[in-house]
Amino acid sequence: MEKRTTPTESDFPPKLSQPARRALAGAGIQNLHQLTRFSQGEIRRLHGIGPKGLAQLRSALAERGLSFQKENRQAHMKQTEKPGRKTSTDALPKIERRPAHSYAAVRMQVPLPFGKYLQPAWAKVDDWLARQGLSHGPAIIRYWTTDMSAKLDIDVGFVTDHAFPASQGIVTDVLPSGRYATLVHIGPYQGKGVYKANVAIIEWAKTNGIGWKTSTIDGVEWWDSRVEWYFNDPATDKDPKKYKTELTFRVADDS
């Protein structure tokens, strides 16, 4: 009789390498049944999964009458994207521990859609930092609330090297250290690519039983740390197809 595994019990091949096991764990994959939710291409792109490890996993699945998911996610994405606006969220989300990051931002409540508010806010923060002789890192949007039926509470600004006092309508705060679910998206900032990346990481978390670190205040859910990081400046980087956006959502289990 075939041995059945509990949802948290690993039944990976005994000779599967430790780097491969760490790669799967980082993607939230704990056993072969969870592995069937992903295609071979998605697993192959995990750092630590080589041809030998992929063959071992494929053989283990076949022994149990299981298989990888068919390669249909990218095809579906290509069909739904507008011509000429290629995007890619090929990599799987992963769990990683991240350090704290200071930042300066404009804090605001905005209705949907809120795109028109972003550039003025980034320009205000950039000017404020420049007048004080301070440099900055990537642009960010920190989402405090995400109730689509109401205005969203967000911070729009830049990561900084260190903390310093707030002034002149600019707030300074810290993205806390801890365990995060992360996902990288490559493609234009405009359009639905970043939105689809958000949907992908949330659905992945649901599938793998991962909760978010949030709190409820007056009936409204507030995120501890949900951030979009924008690594390219459209003013100087002219190829939107190469723009990099990283999503980082702090998870509830922060042990």
3-state secondary structure the chain: CCCCCCCCCCCCCCCCCHHHHHHHHHCCCCCHHHHCCCEHHHHHCCCCCCHHHHHHHHHHHHHCCCCCECCCHHHHHHHHCCCCCCCECCCCCEEEEECCEEEEEEEEEECCCCHHHHHHHHHHHHHHHHHCCCCCCCEEEEECCCCCCCCEEEEEEEEECCCCCCECCEEEEEECCEEEEEEEEECCCCCCHHHHHHHHHHHHHHHCCCCECEEEECCEEEECCEEEEECCCCCCCCCHHHCEEEEEEEECCCC
pLDDT band at residue 121 using 50, 70 and 90 as cut-offs: very high
Residue 6 is predicted with a pLDDT of 37
Residue 149 is predicted with a pLDDT of 82
Average pLDDT of the segment spanning 125-150: 92
Q: Do the domains 94-250 and 1-71 match in fold?
A: no
pLDDT at position 57 over 60: yes
205-230: pLDDT as tens digits = 999 999 999 999 988 999 999 999 99
User: Residue ranges per domain, the chain?
Assistant: 1-71, 94-250
Fold of 94-250: Multidrug-efflux Transporter 1 Regulator Bmrr; Chain A (3.20.80)
pLDDT at position 76 over 50: no
Residue 20 is predicted with a pLDDT of 85
Average pLDDT, whole number, for the chain?
84
pLDDT at position 236 over 90: no
Assess if CATH 1.10.150.20 describes domain 1-71.
yes
Residue 243 is predicted with a pLDDT of 92
